[in-house]
Each structure stands twice: as structure tokens, then as C-alpha cells.
Chains A and B, each alone.
Chain A
Amino acid sequence: MNTAALLLFVPLLALALLGEPAPPRTLAQIAAGMPREMGPFHATEPDEVYDTSGIYAYIDGAAEVYLAYGMRACLARRFHHPAGGIVLDVFEMSDAGGAFGAFTYDREGEELDIGQGALLREGWLTFWQGRFFASLTAEGEGAAHREGLLAIARAAAAAIAEHGELPELLGRLPADGLQTRSVRYLRHPSILATHLPLGFGDPLALGADAEAALARYEDKALLLIVRYPGAARAATGLEGARRVISAPSPGGRDGFWGAAADGPLLAVVGEAVTEDHVRRLLATALAARENEEEKR
């Protein structure tokens, strides 16, 4: 462990021993806490930090995705290797929900025990932890690069040292039959259109201030739960859902479809094999809210 990392680690350890939650980390602290040499991979150039304007030039074509999840800044570190480097990008989001949501944007890959959830595909590793989403891209192939990805990711996760809570909305997804790897959390109609295209525009009136959870169930039924800022917007969303469902084929999809709204919540079920499954998913998704209010 280098000196900078030690200076950060000791106070964190002290807080942990005292039972205090770790304070929010900054990208500068995370950068200081990560080694610049990881086996054969060496970061020889200064780190780069992009704000919400500069990010367009850095990841032209993908910036909007991270901005939609509340990106505040991105730390980029390039580790060099003779056979191709590894690029680490750590995105600081406005909250842990944004970090988790960015992680769920692409859920393919091998699950790893890094951070609060990690996935490894060929040459690309992602994980989320606290308010941070990290992406590591390898520019080479083979065992050395796989090991490099894993080592750098673990070091980054250790430097982040935050813990984030999952969005409360996910608790409304009925557990019975839920395909956990299918769960996506989103906050923008274009992200919804990426995963569940239902038609032109913003048919469910998500705008930029609603949050949503999307999941699949064992019989391939899909469930979308949206929480709007208020009941009026949810009613507008329900009208939109009604139009989608009454179209010749909702987004080119088949099966049984239904939607319901309660307060600020909208639930849409589609592609279900039976009508009964639609009813059960809608009722359970919205009943969870009532139960939670009773608990309060």
C-alpha cells in the first residue's frame, strides 16, 4: 500500500472500529487510494477528470447514459501494457441509485464478487459501489488482461470504500419468479426505450424526474414500475400505458398486457402467458406500497 492510500485507509479503519459510517468519498480521494502499478500494468500519465460538459468529448455517444443516471464527474486512468492497456473509468453519481442504475444498463457477463455487484465480459468489467459506477476496458486479450481487470477493479472498489443502498423502488418488485439478473433501474425515457421500446416519444410520460424498475419473470412476463413525482403524473402515465396496450401490438410485443396506477405509482405488465399473472403482478407491485405505509 502506498503512502497516500495508507493515509486514507487509517482514518477509515478508525471510523469502522467506532461503528461510524464512512464519509462520502471524492474522486480525488479514490484516485489517491488506488495504486498506479498493478503487476504489469502501469499508469504513467496523469489521471483525467471530466465534468458533465467534458464527458461528451471523452465518451462521445455514451455520455448521455451516465448523465441520465446523475453523473457528476468521471475519473479516467489509463494503465499501460505492451499488449494493450486497461482504461479505468470511475463515474461519480448523485446517489447510489444512479450508480446501481448505470450498472444495470448492461447486465450480460460473468458475475464477480467485487464492490456491490460486478460483471465481466470479454475485455470489459463493470461494478458499482456506493455512489460510484466503474467501468474497466481492456485493450488486449488473454489471461494477463483478465487478471489485470480483476486486480484493478478490486483496488478501485477498496479505494471507493462506500456502501450504497439499493433504490427503494426495487422492493416493490414481487419476488416470486423474479429473474434477478433482468432487473434494471432507470430514470429517463430514453433508457426505458433502450430496454423496452413501447413507441415513439415518451409514451409513459416519464420525463426526467420519474424513476422506474423493469424486470422479467419466469414465464417471460415483464413488469415495469414507475414512481412519478405525484399522482397526477401517474394518471397521465396510465393513460399512456392504455394507449400503448390498445395499439395493434405494444412495441411489437405479444402476450397479455395490463396496467394500473395507485398514487404516484404506475405498474405495467406485458408479455405474460396468462391473464391471471398480469393481475397478480399488478396487485403485488402496488400492494407493496400499501404495506410499507402500514409499517410506517
Chain B
Amino acid sequence: MIATPITRRKVLEQGGWLAVGGALAGLPATAADAPRSRVVLVRDAKAVDQDGLVNAPVVRDMLDAAVARLLDEDAPLAAWKRLVTPADVVGVKSNEWRHLPTPPALEAAIRGRLEDAGVKPERIAVADRAVLREGVFAAATALVNVRPLRTHNWSGLGTLIKNYVMFVPDPWSYHANACEPLGAIWHLPHVKGKTRLNVLVMLTPQFHSTGPHHFSRAYTWTYGGLLVSRDPVAADAVGAAIIQAQRRRHFGHDRPIAPPPHHIQFADRTYGLGVSSLERIELVRLGWAEGSLI
């Protein structure tokens, strides 16, 4: 029998993967002078009613406010015109998971603003599983990434980064090590550099999963928010921190997201897609402040 020495360890840092992630081995270090990313958190207590129905006008206004603030424009349309031009072909990558899909009202709001910015309707498509079969996506010059945040049994969280897994014909090839390689998808020719906007839907996020269908209303809560950013990694990192905080609040103790959603950090440090460190994220808050958890 070969044995290691027995060692006494004390917990040096409390918290989940976000708190200790920087100290964990296996990831390249982040440069101290790395750029910061802006994430806008917009919330409204009226975004979702007691029955879980989305208030379309409120959500549209939230989106407008967030996009304008993200780009420091007074008028939402001016911001959208900086994101897309009439020459663009735009694929809106949505998410149709039946238990918690991207709200159609939000898809409609995005489509409406793209059209307001001059993109012809026939040059816009909204899709999830069909993106590889959809003509507009094949010709897309621009992408908008929009999905709800939820816990996920294999990647820890279903994130903006993970939402692009449908851009490959073999999603299961990206499942190794809790979906560590997901960031590679963003470097494929039909995806790379095309994403103009990311919207992480936090209206009724799911913070815990059980069972094969791994959905229960008991593990969602009305947060009434959207996280909007040019940087998908930064938006995911903020979303993960909110989910972790909600788990702590719900369970009464620190119960880390499992498995750890470290594909967010790999997307930063291995694939260079954005910023995963909360210290390097400029979080701009708009609207409802109560219970923001961050």
C-alpha cells in the first residue's frame, strides 16, 4: 500500500466556486491589467405576475433601458443602431426548453428592436434547436444570444455560453469535464465574432434541479431581472453569483452549485471569451433593488 501523508487542512476561503475559483489549479492566470466588462442588471417587480405570466410591455421597457445603459446612449434605438445595421442578417439564438423557455415576449421585443434599427424582417430569425437548419442563421452576420438561467445536471448551469451548443451537430462532444470545452464553440467560423448582444433572462431563474426532468416550480423564484452585456462570460458570472446566493438563502447554508459551472471560467481563461472574475465586472443596476442578491 502506498499512502500520502495525512494532512490537516483549514478552509481558507468560504463560499462556492466563485470564491475559491481563482486559487484552483488547472486554469491559466488572468492578467492583472485585463479589461473590465460591463453588465447591466435591470429588474422590475412587475415583470412577472403571480401566475408566472410575463408582462410584455414591462419586459420590453427593461430591455430598452438595459441596452441603452449598456452603450451609454440616452435612446434605446440609438443603442440598437450601434449593435446592428440594415445590412446585417441576424440570428436570435433563443432557448426552447419546455419548462423554462426564453419568453416569447422577450423574443418579440428583440425582433422589434432589430427591425426598428433597420434590419428587414426576412433577415431576422429566432431559433434554438434549428439553428443549423435555418437559412438566416447560415447567412447570419450578427447574433443575439438570449436564454433563461437555470441549473443543469452536467454543466452546473445552463448559461449564455452553453446556449451556443446547438451550433454544433454533436453537442455531446462538448460535455467532458462538466462541459469545460463549451467555449470552443464560440470560435467556430459560423459563430466567431458575430455576437452583438447577450441577454441572460433572470425573470424566474431556476436555482436547483432534481430528477430526470430536473424542473420544479419550487426551485424557481421571481427575480424579475435581465442581465444584459456584450460579454457572455461576464453576464454568466454575475448570474451564477445570484444563483449561488439564492441557494444559500433557500437552503439556509452554503450549498454550492453542483457540478461546479467552471465552463464559465474556462470560457474566460482558456477561450478568451470574456471576463469571469466579479472584481473585473462593472455591474450597473437599474430598477427594482430589493432582493437583488448581488
The answer to whether the Cβ of B29 comes within 8 Å of any Cβ in the partner chain is no
Contact in complex: A254, B10 (CB < 8 Å): yes
Residues of chain B within 8 A of A248, CB atoms compared = 9, 12, 23
Task: Check B210–A106 contact: CB distance below 8 A.
Answer: yes
Chain B residue, CB-CB nearest to A133: B212
Residue-wise interface mask of B (10-39) relative to A, using a CB-CB cutoff of 8 A (1 in contact, 0 not) = 111111110110011111000000000000
Q: Residue B2 at the A interface, CB < 8 A?
A: yes
B214 within 8 A of A: yes
- B97–A89 touching, CB < 8 Å: no
B interface footprint on A79-123 (CB within 8 Å = 1, 0 otherwise):
000000001010100000000000000101000000000000111
* 18 A-B contacts (beta carbon < 8 Å): A57-B129, A61-B153, A61-B158, A62-B153, A64-B175, A106-B210, A190-B177, A193-B178, A193-B260, A199-B26, A200-B177, A201-B26, A248-B23, A250-B9, A252-B14, A257-B9, A259-B3, A260-B4
* Complex Cα spacing A193 to B175, Å: 14
Q: Which chain A residues in 270-284 approach chain B with CB under 8 Å?
A: 275, 278-279, 282
B5–A194 touching, CB < 8 Å: no
Query: With the chains together, A240 CA to B2 CA distance in Å?
Result: 13
Closest A residue to B172 by beta carbon equals A56
Tell me if A's interface is mostly helix, strand, loop or mixed.
mixed
Contact A121 B9 (CB under 8 A): no
Determine whether the beta carbon of A257 is less than 8 Å from that of B3. Answer: no
Contact B2 A61 (CB under 8 A): no
The answer to whether B9 touches A202, judged by C-beta atoms less than 8 angstroms apart, is no
Measured between alpha carbons, how far is A126 from B20 in the docked complex, in Å? 34
Contact pattern, B 177-212, Cβ under 8 Å of A = 1, otherwise 0? 110100000000000000000000000000001111
Q: Establish whether residues A194 and B258, one from each chain, have CB atoms under 8 Å apart when the complex forms.
A: yes
Residues of chain B within 8 A of A123, CB atoms compared: 216
Contacts known (A193-B258, A197-B260, A249-B12); A258 close to B20, Cβ less than 8 A: no
Given A189-B177, A252-B20, the answer on whether A135 and B218 have CB atoms closer than 8 Å is no
Within 8 Å by CB of B7, from A190, A252, A257, lies A257
Q: B102: shortest Cβ distance to chain A, in Å?
A: 14
B258 touches A200 (CB 8 A): no
User: Is A163 interfacial (CB 8 A cutoff)?
Assistant: no
Q: In whole angstroms, what is the CA distance A59 to B26 when docked?
A: 31
Give the nearest-CB partner of B151 in chain A. Answer: A61
Once A59-B214, A61-B154 are accepted as A-B contacts, the answer to whether A252 and B13 lie under 8 Å apart by CB is yes
Is B133 an interface residue when CB atoms closer than 8 A count as contact?
A: no
- Contact of A124 with B211 in the complex, beta carbons under 8 Å: yes
Give the number of A-B contacts (CB < 8 Å): 149
**Which 4 pairs from chain A and chain B are nearest by CB?**
A200-B26, A260-B3, A258-B6, A64-B154
Given A61-B97, A61-B209, A253-B9: A235 and B2 interface contact (C-beta under 8 Å):
yes
Knowing A200-B262, A201-B180, the reply to whether A286 touches B1 (Cβ < 8 A) is yes
Closest A residue to B23 by CB, please name it.
A248
Closest to A89 in B: B212
Does any Cβ of A come within 8 Å of B272's Cβ? Answer: no
Task: Say if the beta carbon of A66 comes within 8 Å of chain B.
Answer: yes
Q: What is the bound-complex CA distance between A253 and B262, given in angstroms?
A: 18
A165-200 contacts to B (CB < 8 Å): 189-190, 193-195, 197, 199-200
Instruction: Out of B6, B7, B259, name the residue touching A194 (CB < 8 Å).
Output: B259
Q: How far is the CA of A137 from the CA of B217 in the complex (A)?
A: 13
On whether the beta carbons of A246 and B158 are closer than 8 Å, the reply is no
With contacts A193-B258, A253-B11 taken as known, whether A87 is within 8 angstroms of B213 at the C-beta atoms is yes
Smallest CB separation, B262 vs chain A (Å): 6
Are A245 and B25 interface neighbours, CB within 8 A? no
Interface membership of B171, Cβ < 8 A = yes
Asked whether A59 lies within 8 Å of B9 as measured between CB atoms, the reply is no
B21 nearest in chain A by CB position? A200
Task: Tell me the minimal C-beta distance from B115 to chain A in angstroms.
Answer: 30
A202 partner, pick from B12, B15, B177, B214, beta carbons under 8 A: B177
| Among candidates B5, B175, B216, residue contacting A258 with C-beta atoms closer than 8 Å | B5
Per the bound structure, the CA–CA distance linking A62 and B216 in Å amounts to 14
CA A245 to CA B8, docked complex, whole Å: 9
Q: Smallest Cβ distance from B16 to chain A, in angstroms?
A: 8
**Smallest Cβ distance from B199 to chain A, in angstroms?**
20
B118 on the A face (CB < 8 A): no
List of B residues within 8 angstroms of A243 by Cβ: 25
A35 within 8 A of B: no
Contact between chains at A200 and B27 (CB < 8 Å): yes
Bound complex: CA A66 to CA B213 (Å): 12
